[in-house]
Amino acid sequence: MSTAQMNRMVSFELRWYSHGGGPEETILADFGMSSTEFFRELHTNLELDPPAPLRPKLVETMKAVARRRLWAGS
């Protein structure tokens, strides 16, 4: 995944994490992937290489939202 795509995903989730993550329809329209794929990619990238400007607590909160969405989708 490109850095630009990851930055788009993080920016999107920054708008939505406090509401439990973005709507499935919007994720599909904006990123061309299911919400499961989106949250799996997001979580993996936040785990391995979180963007430097994000505070660690915010990264952990966003990862928790991604885990909940992955759990709910399984």
> pLDDT-based confidence at 26, cuts 50/70/90?
very high
Say whether pLDDT at 74 is over 70.
no
pTM recorded for the entire structure: 0.91
Say whether pLDDT at 69 is over 90.
yes
Is-contact 8 28, C-beta < 8 A?
no
Say whether pLDDT at 1 is over 80.
no
Is-contact 33 27, C-beta < 8 A?
yes
Residue whose token pair is 């607590």: 57
> Position 65: which residue type?
V
28-50 residue pLDDT tens? 999 999 999 999 999 999 999 99
